């Protein structure tokens, strides 16, 4: 029941994003710009020697993109008091938090796959284990949304939300950022065991942050 309701909220979010893709466009645009600037600053030679730098910068860009997209998604709830209509539904706050996480995970999966492909292309990286890189990318897309959604929910009614969310969320995401960067670097250099281990850590942090988010997030939204 809980998952069905959360999926309905996610579906509603994704339909809204399809009709007016401003959150997705912001996330894709920011990621693309930062990856492009990174390719100019770092350059193929440095990226090949230290792949963790390139992947680290990519995941910072993706985190900022996720913050933009999720904040926009909650902004839509505040327009016309749409949030109140969801909160008065049975189990509405739980479904809203989980639904936002699900929708953001799907969107971030698209953005992170595109961002990873763009990074590989622009930095002319030779990826030894492309399948592992894909897995790490999916793991990162899974690990970031629960935490970002939680902090957006906590700061929902703050005027300084645009500042507060990155200030709170980015430090809390340091383990996920390290795991995603190191996992991607391991996949690029051909370290299969390393990339699996970092990917497992990403899944574990996703689970822990989702459980923490489900405990705190709905109450914060209410």
Partner 1 sequence: MPRVEASALLHAADVVLDDRTVLRGIELRIGPGITLVRGQNGAGKTTLLRALAGLLPLARGTREIPADVLYLGHRPQLHRALSAAENLWFFARYRGYGSADVDGALAAWGVPHTSGPAERLSAGQRRRAALARLETEPCALVLLDEPFAELDDGAAARLGETVGRCAARGQAVVIATHGRAGLAADRTVRLEAGAIVGA
Smallest distance from partner 1 to CB 96, Å: 11
Smaller CB distance to partner 1: residue 91 or 190?
Answer: 91
Give the HSE-up count for residue 114: Cα atoms under 13 Å, Cβ half-sphere.
Answer: 20
Smaller CB distance to partner 1: residue 95 or 111?
Answer: 95
Give the HSE-up count for residue 73: Cα atoms under 13 Å, Cβ half-sphere.
Answer: 35
Smaller CB distance to partner 1: residue 83 or 111?
Answer: 83
The CA–CA distances, whole Å, from 169 to 85, 108, 114, 155 equal 27, 16, 23, 11
Distance of alpha carbon 175 from alpha carbon 1, whole angstroms: 32
Smallest distance from partner 1 to CB 45, Å: 45
Distance of alpha carbon 208 from alpha carbon 215, whole angstroms: 11
* CA angle at 174 for the pair 42 and 73, rounded to the nearest 5°: 95
Smallest distance from partner 1 to CB 7, Å: 10
Smallest distance from partner 1 to CB 197, Å: 40
Smaller CB distance to partner 1: residue 107 or 180?
Answer: 107
Smaller CB distance to partner 1: residue 89 or 162?
Answer: 89
Q: Report the candidate in 216, 21, 220, 215 with the shortest Cα–Cα distance to residue 106.
A: 21
Distance of alpha carbon 22 from alpha carbon 25, whole angstroms: 5
Applying CB under 8 A, the residues found at the interface with partner 1 are 5, 8-9, 11-12, 15-17, 19-20, 76-77, 79-82, 84-85, 87-90, 95
End-to-end CA distance of the chain: 20
Smallest distance from partner 1 to CB 27, Å: 16
Smaller CB distance to partner 1: residue 88 or 174?
Answer: 88
Smallest distance from partner 1 to CB 22, Å: 9
Q: Give the number of other CB atoms < 10 A from CB of residue 159.
A: 8
């Amino acid at each position: 029941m809980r998952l069905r309701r959360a999926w309905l909220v996610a579906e509603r979010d994704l339909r809204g994003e399809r009709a007016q893709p401003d959150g997705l466009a912001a996330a894709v645009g920011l990621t693309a710009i930062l990856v492009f600037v990174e390719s100019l600053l770092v350059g193929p030679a440095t990226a090949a020697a230290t792949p963790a730098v390139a992947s680290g910068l990519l995941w910072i860009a993706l985190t900022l993109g996720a913050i933009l997209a999720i904040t926009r998604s909650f902004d839509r709830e505040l327009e016309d008091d749409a949030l109140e209509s969801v909160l008065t539904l049975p189990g509405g706050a739980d479904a809203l938090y989980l639904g936002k996480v699900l929708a953001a995970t799907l969107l971030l999966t698209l953005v992170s796959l595109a961002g990873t492909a763009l990074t590989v292309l622009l930095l002319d990286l030779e990826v030894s284990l492309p399948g592992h890189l894909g897995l790490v990318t999916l793991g990162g897309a899974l690990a970031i949304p629960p935490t970002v959604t939680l902090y957006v929910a906590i700061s929902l009614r703050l005027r300084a939300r645009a500042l507060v969310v990155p200030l709170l969320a980015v430090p809390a995401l340091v383990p996920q950022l390290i795991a995603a960067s190191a996992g991607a670097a391991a996949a690029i250099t051909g370290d299969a065991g390393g990339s699996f281990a970092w990917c497992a850590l990403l899944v574990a942090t996703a689970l822990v942050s989702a459980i923490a988010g489900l405990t705190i997030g709905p109450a914060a939204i209410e």
